[in-house]
Amino acid sequence: MQDRPLIGVTTYLATARWGVWEEPAVLLPAAYPALVRAAGGLAVMLPPDGPEAAPAVAARLDALVVSGGPDVDPALYGARRHPRTGPAVPERDRWEAALLRAALAAGLPLLGICRGMQLLNVVCGGTLLQHLPEAVGHEGHCPSTGAYARHLVLPVPGTTVAGLLPEPAVEVPTYHHQAVDRLGAGLRVAARAADGTVEALEGDGPGFVLGVQWHPEQGTDVRLVHALVRAAAGSR
């Protein structure tokens, strides 16, 4: 157990109810640490903290996972709020943006999932589509509230994602209404949906930098997280 890489996973910040209590809480769906364990890592939760703490936290980790969650504040990429954009969670935006910057600066292997990929793109100077159905003309990426859908993604030949997922198309769990618009610096598109939506990003330099729009923790395919854990073990 001591040899397993330590993988930090960011958390939600929300009001929660348990027993007789209803209080502000830091939350993480159990599927995230279960996925990390299945891939051979040790998961540790990273609740929001002051951005100044991010470099010290990153220095103690072997890899970082930025989890899914609410919409990124459009002010972070200089856009007006769309009527369908959800409420901002500034504490989480500031913390996760700082963690991503610290991880990128340190060469720490990282994986952004759904919101995590979107925030990675924003941190690198990119922008987001605030309501994807307006761009693609359908609700297939999030057809019903509170239920994951599934659709095919097409890895881009020659990318790391294509090497890890060599099938021409891979069915993935999906739940999002926003997506990457303008690509951030130092990133390249690694997979798309059939409608053209960017479904994966990766760094165009050395190191393991990956973002996926889908939710691997809601499926049984651990290949991407296996790759993260291998990169974490190799970077110690």
User: If 0-12 CB within 10 Å is exposed, 13-18 middle and 19+ buried, where does residue 47 land?
Assistant: middle
d(CA 221, CA 171): 10
DSSP assignment, residue 160? H
| E strand or H helix at 180 | strand 179-180
Return the axis-axis angle of helices 115-123 and 90-106, rounded to nearest 10°. Answer: 70
Distance CA 94, CA 49 (A): 9
Q: Which residues are known catalytic residues?
A: 114, 215, 217
